[in-house]
A and B are shown apart, each in its own frame.
Chain A
Amino acid sequence: MAKQTQQGAAVLQGTLDMLILRTLLYGPAHGHQIGKHIQRTTNDFLQMQHGSLYPALHRLERRGWVVSKWETAPDRNREFKYYRLTEKGRKQLLVEESQWKQMAEAVARVMWPAAEES
Chain B
Amino acid sequence: MRWWQIRKRDEDLDWELRSDLELEEEEQRERGASPEEARYAARRSFGNTALIREHTHEAWGWAKHERLARDIRYSLRQLRRSPGFTITAVLILALGIGAVTAVFSLIDAALLRMLPVQRPEQLVEFKIINPDFPVNDAFSYPEFKSFERQTQVLAGALAFRQLNKVDVEVNGSSGPATGQVVSGSYFPVLGVKAIQGRTILPVDESVGGQSPVAVIGYDYWRTRFALDPGVIGKHVLINNIPFTIVGVTEPEFYGVQPGEKIDIYIPLTMTASVFPGFADAGGPADVLRAPFRNWLHVMGRLQVGVAREKASASLEPVFAQSMRVAVDSFAGLPFDSPAVRKSFLQCRLRLDPGSQGLAALRRQFSKPLWIVMAIVGLLLLITCANVANLLLARANAREKEIALRLALGAGKRRLIRQLLTESILLGLGGGAMGVGLAYWGNRGLLALIARGRNPVLLNAQPDLTVLAFALGVSLLTALIFGTIPAWRATDVDPSRGLAQSGRSYADATMRHRLGKSLIVLQVAIAIVLMIGAGLLTRTLVNLRNFYPGFNPENVLLLSVDPTVIGYKDVVPLYEQLLQRLRTLPGVQSASLSVHEPLATNVQSTTVKVLGPGGQKEDLASVNIEPVGPDYFRTMEINLLRGRDFLWSDRSGTQKVAVLNQSMARHYFGNADPVGRFVSIPGFVGDPSWIQIVGEVRDVKVHDLRESEAMMLYLPLFQLPEGGATFELRTAMDPAYVQTEALGTVRATDTRLPVSSVKTLQNQLDDSLVSERLVASLSEIFGLLALLLTCVGLYGLMAYNVNRRTSEIGIRMALGAERGRIALMVLRETFLLVACGIAIGLPAAALTAHWITSQLFGLKPWDPITLSAACGVMAVVAIAASYSPARRAASIDPMRALRTE
Binding site for B on A (CB under 8 A): 2, 30-32, 49-52, 54-56, 58-59, 62, 78-81
The residue of chain A having its C-beta at the shortest distance from the C-beta of B12 within the complex is: A81
8 A Cβ contacts from B532-585 to A: none
Are B47 and A55 neighbours in the complex by a CB distance under 8 Å? no
B24 CB contacts on chain A under 8 angstroms = 32
Most buried by B among A2, A30, A62, A81: A81
The residue of chain A having its C-beta at the shortest distance from the C-beta of B24 within the complex is: A32
Q: Which of A50, A59, A78 contacts B59 (CB 8 A)?
A: A59
A80 CB contacts on chain B under 8 angstroms = 16, 19-20, 23
Are B52 and A58 neighbours in the complex by a CB distance under 8 Å? no
Task: Decide if the interface of chain A is mainly helix, strand, loop or mixed.
Answer: helix
Are A81 and B15 neighbours in the complex by a CB distance under 8 Å? yes
A52 CB contacts on chain B under 8 angstroms = 55
Chain B window 16-51, contacts with chain A (Cβ cutoff 8 Å), 1 for yes, 0 for no: 110110011000000000000000000001111001
Are A54 and B45 neighbours in the complex by a CB distance under 8 Å? no
Are B61 and A51 neighbours in the complex by a CB distance under 8 Å? no
B12 CB contacts on chain A under 8 angstroms = 81
Question: Taking the complex as formed, is B835 at the interface, i.e. its CB lies under 8 A from any CB of chain A?
Answer: no
The residue of chain A having its C-beta at the shortest distance from the C-beta of B15 within the complex is: A81
A81 CB contacts on chain B under 8 angstroms = 12, 15-16, 19
Give 5 CB contacts A-B under 8 Å: A2-B51, A30-B20, A51-B47, A59-B59, A62-B60
In angstroms, Cα B1 to Cα A55, docked, is 15
Total inter-chain residue pairs, C-beta < 8 Å: 52
Q: 15 additional contacts, CB 8 Å, given A30-B20, A32-B20?
A: A30-B16, A32-B23, A49-B47, A50-B47, A51-B51, A54-B55, A54-B56, A58-B56, A58-B59, A62-B1, A62-B59, A62-B60, A80-B16, A81-B12, A81-B16
Q: Which of A32, A55, A59 contacts B52 (CB 8 A)?
A: A55
The residue of chain B having its C-beta at the shortest distance from the C-beta of A48 within the complex is: B45
A49 CB contacts on chain B under 8 angstroms = 47
Q: How large is the interface on B (under 10, 10 to 19, 20 to 34, 35 or more residues)?
A: 20 to 34
Question: Taking the complex as formed, is B58 at the interface, i.e. its CB lies under 8 A from any CB of chain A?
Answer: yes
Are A58 and B20 neighbours in the complex by a CB distance under 8 Å? no
Give min CB distance, B745 to chain A, whole Å: 85
Question: Taking the complex as formed, is B437 at the interface, i.e. its CB lies under 8 A from any CB of chain A?
Answer: no
Q: Which of B15, B16, B19, B55 contacts A55 (CB 8 A)?
A: B55
Are A54 and B16 neighbours in the complex by a CB distance under 8 Å? yes
In angstroms, Cα B571 to Cα A81, docked, is 104
Are A50 and B56 neighbours in the complex by a CB distance under 8 Å? no
The residue of chain A having its C-beta at the shortest distance from the C-beta of B20 within the complex is: A32
In angstroms, Cα B47 to Cα A52, docked, is 11
Question: Taking the complex as formed, is B13 at the interface, i.e. its CB lies under 8 A from any CB of chain A?
Answer: yes
Given contacts A32-B24, A62-B1, A62-B61, contact A51 B19 (CB under 8 A): no
Are A51 and B60 neighbours in the complex by a CB distance under 8 Å? no
In angstroms, Cα B17 to Cα A30, docked, is 10
In angstroms, Cα B26 to Cα A78, docked, is 13
B17 CB contacts on chain A under 8 angstroms = 54
Q: Which of B13, B15, B19, B23 contacts A54 (CB 8 A)?
A: B13
Given contacts A32-B24, A58-B59, A59-B59, contact A50 B45 (CB under 8 A): yes
B51 CB contacts on chain A under 8 angstroms = 2, 51
Give min CB distance, B12 to chain A, whole Å: 8
Q: Which of A31, A62, A78 contacts B16 (CB 8 A)?
A: A31
Give min CB distance, B55 to chain A, whole Å: 4
Given contacts A62-B1, A81-B15, contact A55 B58 (CB under 8 A): yes
B16 CB contacts on chain A under 8 angstroms = 30-31, 54, 80-81
Give min CB distance, A78 to chain B, whole Å: 7
A30 CB contacts on chain B under 8 angstroms = 16, 19-20
A51 CB contacts on chain B under 8 angstroms = 47-48, 51-52, 55
Are B20 and A55 neighbours in the complex by a CB distance under 8 Å? no
8 A Cβ contacts from B48-71 to A: 48, 51-52, 55-56, 58-61
In angstroms, Cα B16 to Cα A112, docked, is 44
The residue of chain B having its C-beta at the shortest distance from the C-beta of A53 within the complex is: B52
Q: Which of A2, A31, A56, A59 contacts B20 (CB 8 A)?
A: A31
A62 CB contacts on chain B under 8 angstroms = 1, 59-61
The residue of chain A having its C-beta at the shortest distance from the C-beta of B22 within the complex is: A78
In angstroms, Cα B60 to Cα A59, docked, is 7
Most buried by A among B17, B45, B59: B59
B23 CB contacts on chain A under 8 angstroms = 32, 80
Considering the complex of A and B, which 7 residue pairs feature the smallest CB-CB distances, nearest first? Answer: A32-B20, A59-B59, A55-B59, A55-B55, A58-B59, A81-B16, A55-B56
In angstroms, Cα B43 to Cα A50, docked, is 11
A56 CB contacts on chain B under 8 angstroms = 59
Most buried by B among A2, A32, A62: A32
In angstroms, Cα B18 to Cα A32, docked, is 11
In angstroms, Cα B1 to Cα A72, docked, is 25
Given contacts A56-B59, A58-B59, A62-B61, contact A50 B52 (CB under 8 A): yes
8 A Cβ contacts from B449-504 to A: none
In angstroms, Cα B344 to Cα A1, docked, is 89
B45 CB contacts on chain A under 8 angstroms = 50
Give min CB distance, B15 to chain A, whole Å: 7
Give min CB distance, B594 to chain A, whole Å: 82
Give min CB distance, A59 to chain B, whole Å: 4
8 A Cβ contacts from B688-738 to A: none
In angstroms, Cα B318 to Cα A116, docked, is 86
Give min CB distance, A94 to chain B, whole Å: 23
In angstroms, Cα B61 to Cα A99, docked, is 25
